[in-house]
Structure 1
Amino acid sequence: MSSENLEEIVGPMLSAEDEINTDVDSEDEINNVPAESGVLVYGLGIYGDLDNFRCIVCKMVPFSKIYQCNNGHLFCPGCYQMRVLDKMLGSRMGTCSQCGVRIYRQRVNRNVDVERQLAEVGVACEKCDMHLPRCLLRLHSLLDCCNRLTTCKYKRIGCKWKGTVGVLEEAHNENCEFRHKKAEELLEELRKMTEKRDKKTALRVNVMKFLQLPQITARMVHLNPIDETFSPNIFTTCQIFDAFNRRWFVEFMWRTANLADVPNEEETDPCTLLFQLCVDSTATERTPLGLSYTLLSCSYSDVRFQTNLCMKHDFSRDNPNGPVAIIYENSWYNINKLLNKRGFYARLLMARV
C-alpha cells in the first residue's frame, strides 16, 4: 500500500503543533477527554467574537490548523480534509459548502493569521476561572487546574477512585482500602488487570492483521456536535453511505450508568459510547454479505477510541445489525461534551471476507 493511499485511509500525519491528545491511552479517563472551550475574556479586536471563527461545516472553533476557500470561508482541519478527500460527498467533493467554489487538494489554503489570533485570545477556564491564552487552555485543564480530576495513587493495583485534586484527593489516599491490602488480597485484582491487558494486546494484533488484507474500503465518519439533542441510551444514526452495492448506517449510543437520564455526579458517573454498523434491511438481499471492520479515531479528533474489531459478521435482510462495540468510556460530563459540543472524526475500515 503506497504512502498516499495510506494517508487517504488513516488521515495525514500531524506535525507537533497539530497533535490533539494523540499520546494518551485510549482507556485513560483523566487525559483522554474532549477539549475545554473556555469563556472569552479579551482579544479578537476588529475580528469581533469567536463566532466569526467557526468552521462553516461543523460550527466548531478549531484548536489547531485553520483552512479557507478562495472566498475566505473558514474550515477546521477535519472538515477541510473531508471536503477534499471524502468520495462519499460525490459532486460536493472538493467544494466549499457555503459558496460552492472549488477546493483543490494540491493547493492547500491555510489561514495562519486567524490561527495566530485564536491562539492569543484570552479565555477563562470554565472550572477555576483562571485567565490565560486560548492556546494554553487544554494543557491547563489537564495539568494545572485546581479543580481538575485525578485518580488514586494506588490506581495501578486496582483502586478506581476519581475525584478533584486537593483536600478530597489527600483524604482518599489516607483512607484508601488498597493501601492496607495484603499481597495475597491483591493477586485477584492484578490477575484481572493482566487478563484485560492481554485481551487488548491480542485485539491490537488482530487489527494489524486486518489492516494487511488486500482490499479494504475506507469511509470517513464525522459526528457533528448535536447541540444538546443527543439523547442517552438510544441508538442514533449519524452517517449513511453506500458500499458493496448496499446502503449502510453508522449508529452510536451514549449509554449511562443504570440507564439513568440524569447523572448523580456529572464529573464521575461512568458512561460508555457504543458503535454499531447496520445495513438497510429494506433494500438488501437475503444472501449474506460477510464483512470484517473496525472504527478508528481520526486525525483532529479530541479523543482516542478504544481498539475494536468485528472479525466477521454476515449482514443480510434478516440479520442487518452488526455487533455492538464499546469505543469510548468516560464520565457523563465528558461524553456529553464530546457528542453535544465537540463532535469527532473517525475512519470506518471495511473488508469483504
Structure 2
Amino acid sequence: MSLENLEEIVSPRLSAEDEINTDVDSEDEINNVPAESGVLVHGLGIYGDLYNFRCILCNTVPFSKIYQCNNGHLICAGCYQIRVLDKMLGSQMGTCSQCGVRIYRQRVNRNTDVERQLAEVSVACEKCNMHLPRCQLRLHSLQDCCNRLTTCKYKRIGCKWKGTVGVLEEAHNENCEFRHKKAEELLEELRKMTEKRDKKTALRVNVMKFLQLPQITARMVHLIPIDETILPNVFTICQIIDAFNRRWSVEFMWRTANLADVPNEEETDPCTLLFQLCLYNSVTERSPLGLSYTLLSSAYSDIRFQTNMCMRHDFSRDNPNGPVATIYENSWYNINRLLNKRGFYARLLMARL
C-alpha cells in the first residue's frame, strides 16, 4: 500500500458537513453518542417515508453526503468511501451491490436533491416529541431537548452523576457529596483523575510511535446493523479481512453491567463496547506472527472510539485471539442504538513486528 493510499484511509479529506462528531471527546458519555433517528411527522412526497432514503449497503438513513449509482440506488458517504475507494475489496470495488453497475471514483454522482429533502423533512424528537427539521435533530438532542442527559456541575472534581436536566439536576446539585468533601478527599480524587489522564496521554504517544512503523497496513472496518441483532455479552464477528497473508476476524462485544442478559434500559445504566482481533482460521497457521495494532474511529462514524493500542501480540495456532480492548463506554440505550440501528465505521491499522 502506498503512503498516499494509507493517508486516504487514516485521514480522509472531509468537508464541514461530513464531520459528524469529530470535535467530541471519546470519553464524553453525554455528547459522544450515536445520532437520534427521529420519528417521521410528515410524508416525503413521492418517496412516502424514510425507507426509500436508506443506504443500500448499511440500510441506515444518512446524515451526511449521499451518492448514487447510475440507476439511482443511494449510497451513504461512509459506504461510498469503502465500496468505491477501498482497494482491498478487489473485484467488488466500485460496483453497486443492488444492480452491479460500475461506479467510478473519477465521476462522482452525488444526489443533492435527496440530501436536501432529508435535511428539511419534519421529524419528532424521540425524547420530548418536539417537531423540527431533521437537519436540526442532532443538535437539539444534545443541547436543547428538555429530556436530554447532563452531568453534575462538580464533574471536574470527580462527581460521576448523570441524569435528566431540570428538577433532577437541581436536586442532585443541591445534595452532591462533592460539595462537602474535605480538601484531602478532593486531592485524592484529583490524583486519581490525573493518573488516568497520564495513562491516556502515554497511550496516545504510543499510537503516534506506532504510525511510524515501517510494515504498516490499514483496513476499513464496517459494522452493518441489518443482518441480525447483536446480543450483549457475546463476541460477534463484524468483518473478515486479509492482511499479511493471513485471514483475520474483527470481533466486538457489548458488555452490560453485571453481565445481565436483559440490561436495565435506563439511560444511565453503564455498558462497555469491547474489540478483539483474532486469527480466523488458526488451525492452518504454524509459525507465529507478531503484530501491533490499533482501532481508530472513521470520519463517518457517529461516535469517537477511545484510544486503544496492542503493543505486541504473537498470533499462532495456540494463541489465536488478541487482547481485549475497551473502545467505547456509554449507556445501554446508546450502545444498543449504535450496534443495532446505526452501525459504525472504523480503521484498523496493523504493523508487522
| TM-score bin, normalised by smaller chain | over 0.9
C-alpha displacement at 1:281, in angstroms?
A: 4.3
Amino acid aligned to 1:70 = N
Kindly indicate whether the alpha-carbon contact (under 8 Å) linking 1:21 and 1:32 is maintained by their aligned counterparts in 2: yes
Kindly indicate whether the alpha-carbon contact (under 8 Å) linking 1:85 and 1:93 is maintained by their aligned counterparts in 2: yes
> 2:57 corresponds to which residue?
57
Q: Distance in 2 between matches of 1:285 and 1:19?
A: 41
> 1:105 corresponds to which residue?
105
1:132-161: CA deviations, max 9, x gaps? 000000000000000000000000000000
Q: How well do the aligned residues superpose, as a CA RMSD in angstroms?
A: 1.4
Q: Distance in 2 between matches of 1:260 and 1:351?
A: 36
Amino acid aligned to 2:95 = T
Amino acid aligned to 2:198 = D
SS in 1 for 2:323: coil
Change (3 A) 1:42 1:136: same
Kindly indicate whether the alpha-carbon contact (under 8 Å) linking 1:163 and 1:268 is maintained by their aligned counterparts in 2: yes
Q: Distance in 2 between matches of 1:33 and 1:228?
A: 22
Kindly indicate whether the alpha-carbon contact (under 8 Å) linking 1:230 and 1:339 is maintained by their aligned counterparts in 2: yes
Kindly indicate whether the alpha-carbon contact (under 8 Å) linking 1:122 and 1:133 is maintained by their aligned counterparts in 2: yes
Aligned counterparts, 1:84-233, within 5 A: 84-226=84-226, 229-233=229-233
State the identity as a percent.
89
C-alpha displacement at 1:226, in angstroms?
A: 4.1
Aligned counterparts, 1:11-90, within 5 A: 11-90=11-90
C-alpha displacement at 1:183, in angstroms?
A: 1.1
Normalising by structure 1, we get a TM-score of 0.97
Amino acid aligned to 1:38 = G
After TM superposition, where is structure 1 displaced by more than 4 Å over at least 4 residues in a row?
Answer: none
Change (3 A) 1:283 1:88: farther
Q: Distance in 1 between matches of 2:264 and 2:69?
A: 45
Change (3 A) 1:265 1:229: closer
Which deviates more from structure 2 when the two are superposed, residues 244-253 or residues 257-266?
Answer: 257-266
1:276-334: CA deviations, max 9, x gaps? 00003444423110001000000110000000010110000000000000000000000
1:196-239: CA deviations, max 9, x gaps? 00000010011011111122111110001147711100101111
Q: Distance in 2 between matches of 1:54 and 1:280?
A: 31
SS in 2 for 1:198: helix
Change (3 A) 1:187 1:284: farther
Kindly indicate whether the alpha-carbon contact (under 8 Å) linking 1:227 and 1:340 is maintained by their aligned counterparts in 2: no
Kindly indicate whether the alpha-carbon contact (under 8 Å) linking 2:248 and 2:277 is maintained by their aligned counterparts in 1: yes
> 1:278 corresponds to which residue?
278
Q: Distance in 2 between matches of 1:132 and 1:2?
A: 46
Kindly indicate whether the alpha-carbon contact (under 8 Å) linking 2:6 and 2:217 is maintained by their aligned counterparts in 1: no
SS in 1 for 2:129: coil
Amino acid aligned to 1:185 = E
Amino acid aligned to 1:76 = C
Amino acid aligned to 1:146 = C
Aligned counterparts, 1:250-265, within 5 A: 250-265=250-265
| Matched residue count | 353
Amino acid aligned to 1:198 = D
Change (3 A) 1:118 1:199: same
Q: Distance in 1 between matches of 2:12 and 2:87?
A: 16
Matched, 1:333 2:329: no
> 2:243 corresponds to which residue?
243
Kindly indicate whether the alpha-carbon contact (under 8 Å) linking 2:264 and 2:332 is maintained by their aligned counterparts in 1: no
Kindly indicate whether the alpha-carbon contact (under 8 Å) linking 2:240 and 2:280 is maintained by their aligned counterparts in 1: no
